[in-house]
C-alpha cells in the first residue's frame, strides 16, 4: 500500500484550489506554546493564502490499515461495554473518538508503512485499593470479638463491616459486628454534591476523620438486628494527623503535574494539530461530520435492534466502523486532498502520535509508582474510643496509631494508648486512670488468595504477628488478677471473595483482664470491605 501521487486534472485542480482557498490550516508543532484562556495556535482568520501548491489526493488503501482495524475494534469494545452497563447512548463512545479515528485513517493512507500499531493506555485494575492493608475494618483490640492485638490507622472511605468472634484481651467468648465509615462519604452522598473533585477539594478534611461502632452480636444469623444502642460495645472517632496520602491528595496532584501533564499535553497537542491539519478546511470538516454522524447512526441502530447480541457485538461493531471508514472516508478521499507539504506532515502523524502515546504510557507508569510510594509513607492517626465493654464500667481510650511500610520490609504498626473510667468503682479497686497499653505488630503480605477469581482483585493473604502489653491499674495487689498483661497474637487473613476476607488468629496471653490464668485461644471473623467490593464490581 503505497501512496499514489496523481497529477491533478484541470477540473480537480480547480476544485482543489477552491478547497485550498478556504482551507486555512496551520501547522502547529507538538508542544505548542501554552496560552491561557485563548487559542493562540489557531490560524488567523484574516491571513491571505500564499501561492497555492497543487493539492494531492491520497491513495485509497487496498485493505483496511491495521491500525484502523485495531482502533475500530477497541471502540467496538467500548460501545459494547456501554451497552452492557445500560448507557442510553452507547454510540457516544464512538463519537468521542470519531475524529481521532478519521485522522488515523487518513494518516495511514498517507503513510501506510509507519506506526502500524499504537500502544494505548494500559487497562487499569482496582489493584491498589484491593491491596490495601492499612485499614482497621474489624473491631479494636479491646472489644470482645477482636481478632487483632494492634489497630491499624487507615480509615475506610465508604463503609467497612466486620464480624469478629473470640477475644484477644478478655476472657469472654463474644461476637462483634463493627461498622466503620468516614463523614466524607455522607457529605458526598448529599444530592447536588456527588463525589467530585470540587466536593473533595472543599471537604477533603473530612476524609481525615473516621467513625466506627461495634455491637455485641445477639443473633449471629441476623447480625444487623444487633445494631441498636443497647448492644453498642464500642464507638470510636479517628483523626488522621499526618497528611492525605491518597491518589486525590494535593501531593498526588503535584506528582501528576510534574510527571504526567507534560506528556499528556503533548499528546493532546499532537492529536489536535493532526485533526486540524486534515479536517480544518470546509469540505473536509463537512465530510468528517458526515462520517461521524453517519457512523454513530449506524451504531445506534444496531445496538437498539433485535439483531444485537453481546456475543457477536464486538465483531459486528468493528465491521460497521471499518465499513464506514471505507465508504465515508476512503471512497470520498478527494474531499481530503492536501498540499504536498501538509501531506508530508500528515504522513509523519502516526510516528509523532505513537511517540506521544508512548511517552504518556511511560509517564503514567512512573506516576503510578510514585503514587504507590506516596501511599506507603508513614501514617499517624489519633483515636478516641468509648468502651462500653462487658464486665467493667464504661471508659474512654485515647490511642495513637502509627504505621510505616519500609521498603523491602514488613508493614509495622505501633499503638500506644491510655484509658480512664467515666465512673470508677472503688469497690472494684478502680481509679479514674484505668490502663496504659503499647502494641507492636508486623504484617507481611504473601501471594494472591487462591479463592479469588477476579483478576482485578489483588487482595493478598496477609500474616501478622503482634504483641501487646497492658498495665491494668485496678488489678494491682488483687488476688487472682494480674496487672501486667502481655499478649502475643498470630493472625492470618485470607481473602475469600470480592471484598470479603476471613481473619483467623491464635492468641496467647499470660493473663486476661479478669483472671490470672494463662490463656490460649483461637479467634476468627469475617470482614466486608465495601470500598474494595465497590471498585471490583465497577471494574467489571
Partner 1 sequence: MEQIDTVSYKVIQGENVKLTVTAHTIDEEIAVSLDGGTVNPASVNPAIFNFQITKSNGAQFLVVDCHFKAADDANAFYQFSLEGSDGGGQFDASSVRKDDFIKRITYQFTLPKSK
Asked whether position 193 contacts partner 1 by CB under 8 A, the answer is: no
Q: Do 56 and 317 touch, CB atoms closer than 8 A?
A: no
Helix, coil or strand: residue 359: helix
Q: Which of residues 408-437 bind partner 1 (CB under 8 A)?
A: none
**Minimum CB distance to partner 1 smaller for 37 or for 479:** 37
Q: Which of residues 257-316 bind partner 1 (CB under 8 A)?
A: 260-261, 264-265, 267-276, 279-282, 284-286, 288-289, 292-293, 296
**Minimum CB distance to partner 1 smaller for 97 or for 504:** 97
Place of cell 495487689: 477
Asked whether position 78 contacts partner 1 by CB under 8 A, the answer is: yes
Q: Which of residues 26-45 bind partner 1 (CB under 8 A)?
A: 26, 28-30, 32-45
Q: Do 49 and 371 touch, CB atoms closer than 8 A?
A: no
Minimum distance, C-beta of residue 353 to partner 1, in the bound complex (Å): 11
Minimum distance, C-beta of residue 275 to partner 1, in the bound complex (Å): 4
Q: Do 86 and 310 touch, CB atoms closer than 8 A?
A: no
Asked whether position 248 contacts partner 1 by CB under 8 A, the answer is: yes
With 0-12 / 13-18 / 19 or more C-beta atoms within 10 angstroms meaning exposed / middle / buried, residue 169 is buried
Q: Which stretch binds partner 1 (CB under 8 A): 205-213, 321-329, 363-371, 407-415?
A: 363-371
Eight-class DSSP state of 453: -
- One DSSP character per residue, 487-535 reads EEEEEEEEEEETTEEEEEEEEEES--SS-SS-EEEEEEEEEEEHHHHHH
What are the distances in angstroms from CA 503 to CA 145, 165, 175, 476, 519?
Answer: 12, 10, 13, 34, 20
Q: Which stretch binds partner 1 (CB under 8 A): 173-181, 188-196, 306-314, 485-493?
A: 188-196
User: What are the grid coordinates assigned to 449, written together?
Assistant: 488468595
Residue 449: name the closest of 441, 439, 457 by CA: 457
Minimum distance, C-beta of residue 177 to partner 1, in the bound complex (Å): 27
Among 329, 371, 439, 487, binds partner 1 (CB under 8 A): 371
Asked whether position 256 contacts partner 1 by CB under 8 A, the answer is: yes
- Partner residues linked to 460 by β-bridges: 448
Binding mask 217-246 for partner 1 (x = CB under 8 A): -----------------------------x
**Minimum CB distance to partner 1 smaller for 34 or for 426:** 34
Q: Which stretch binds partner 1 (CB under 8 A): 72-80, 160-168, 426-434, 518-526?
A: 72-80
Helix orientation angle between 92-110 and 261-279, rounded to the nearest 10 degrees: 70
Asked whether position 368 contacts partner 1 by CB under 8 A, the answer is: yes
What are the distances in angstroms from CA 193 to CA 197, 246, 248, 319?
Answer: 10, 20, 17, 41
**Minimum CB distance to partner 1 smaller for 126 or for 401:** 126
d(CA 477, CA 259): 62
Asked whether position 194 contacts partner 1 by CB under 8 A, the answer is: yes
Among 10, 88, 190, 197, binds partner 1 (CB under 8 A): 197
Among 81, 400, 488, 506, binds partner 1 (CB under 8 A): 81
Amino acid at each position: 500500500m503505497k501512496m499514489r501521487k496523481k497529477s491533478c486534472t484541470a477540473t480537480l485542480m480547480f476544485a482543489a484550489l477552491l478547497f485550498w482557498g478556504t482551507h486555512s490550516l496551520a501547522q502547529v508543532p507538538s508542544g505548542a506554546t501554552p496560552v491561557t484562556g485563548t487559542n493562540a495556535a489557531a490560524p488567523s482568520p484574516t491571513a491571505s493564502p500564499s501561492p497555492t501548491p497543487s493539492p494531492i489526493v491520497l491513495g485509497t488503501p487496498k485493505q483496511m490499515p491495521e491500525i484502523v482495524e485495531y482502533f475500530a475494534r477497541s471502540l467496538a469494545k467500548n460501545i459494547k461495554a456501554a451497552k452492557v452497563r445500560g448507557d442510553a447512548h452507547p454510540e457516544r463512545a464512538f463519537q468521542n473518538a470519531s475524529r481521532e479515528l478519521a485522522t488515523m485513517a487518513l494518516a495511514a493512507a498517507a503513510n501506510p508503512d509507519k506506526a502500524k500499531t499504537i500502544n494505548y493506555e494500559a487497562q487499569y485494575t482496582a489493584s491498589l485499593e484491593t491491596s490495601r492493608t492499612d485499614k482497621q475494618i474489624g473491631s479494636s483490640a479491646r472489644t470482645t470479638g477482636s481478632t487483632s492485638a494492634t489497630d491499624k490507622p487507615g480509615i475506610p472511605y465508604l463503609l467497612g463491616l466486620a464480624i469478629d468472634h473470640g477475644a484477644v484481651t478478655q476472657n469472654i467468648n463474644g461476637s462483634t459486628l463493627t461498622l466503620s465509615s468516614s463523614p466524607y462519604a455522607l457529605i458526598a452522598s448529599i444530592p447536588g454534591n456527588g463525589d467530585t473533585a470540587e466536593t473533595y477539594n472543599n471537604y477533603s478534611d473530612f476524609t481525615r476523620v473516621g467513625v466506627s461502632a461495634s455491637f455485641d452480636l445477639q443473633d449471629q444469623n441476623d447480625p444487623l438486628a444487633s445494631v441498636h444502642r443497647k448492644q453498642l460495645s464500642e464507638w470510636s472517632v479517628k483523626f488522621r494527623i499526618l497528611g492525605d496520602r491518597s491518589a486525590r491528595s494535593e501531593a498526588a496532584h503535584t506528582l501528576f503535574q510534574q510527571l504526567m501533564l507534560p506528556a499528556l499535553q503533548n499528546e493532546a497537542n499532537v492529536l489536535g494539530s493532526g485533526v486540524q491539519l486534515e479536517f480544518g478546511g470546509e469540505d473536509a470538516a463537512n465530510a468528517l461530520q458526515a462520517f461521524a454522524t453517519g457512523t454513530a447512526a449506524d451504531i445506534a441502530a444496531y445496538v437498539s435492534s433485535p439483531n444485537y447480541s453481546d456475543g457477536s457485538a464486538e465483531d459486528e461493531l468493528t465491521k460497521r466502523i471499518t465499513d464506514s471508514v471505507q465508504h465515508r472516508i476512503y471512497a470520498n478521499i478527494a474531499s481530503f486532498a492536501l498540499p504536498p507539504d501538509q501531506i508530508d506532515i500528515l504522513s509523519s502523524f502516526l510516528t509523532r502520535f505513537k511517540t506521544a502515546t508512548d511517552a504518556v504510557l511511560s509517564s503514567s507508569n512512573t506516576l503510578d509508582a510514585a503514587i504507590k510510594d506516596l501511599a506507603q509513607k508513614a501514617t499517624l492517626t489519633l483515636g478516641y474510643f468509648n468502651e462500653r465493654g462487658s464486665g467493667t464500667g464504661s471508659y474512654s481510650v485515647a490511642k495513637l496509631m502509627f504505621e510505616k511500610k519500609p521498603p523491602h520490609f514488613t508493614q509495622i504498626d505501633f499503638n500506644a494508648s491510655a484509658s480512664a473510667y467515666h465512673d470508677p468503682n472503688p469497690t472494684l479497686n478502680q481509679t479514674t486512670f484505668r490502663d496504659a497499653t503499647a502494641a507492636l505488630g508486623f504484617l507481611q503480605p504473601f501471594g494472591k488468595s487462591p479463592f479469588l477469581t477476579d483478576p482485578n482483585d489483588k487482595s493478598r493473604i496477609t500474616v501478622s504477628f503482634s504483641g501487646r502489653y497492658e498495665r491494668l491499674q485496678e488489678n494491682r495487689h488483687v488476688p487472682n488478677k494480674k496487672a501486667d498483661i502481655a499478649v502475643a497474637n498470630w493472625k492470618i487473613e485470607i481473602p475469600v471473595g470480592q471484598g470479603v476476607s476471613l481473619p483467623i488468629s491464635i492468641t496467647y496471653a499470660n493473663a486476661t483482664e479478669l483472671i490470672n490464668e494463662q490463656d490460649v485461644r483461637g479467634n476468627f471473623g469475617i470482614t466486608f470491605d465495601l470500598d474494595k467490593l465497590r471498585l471490583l464490581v465497577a471494574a467489571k
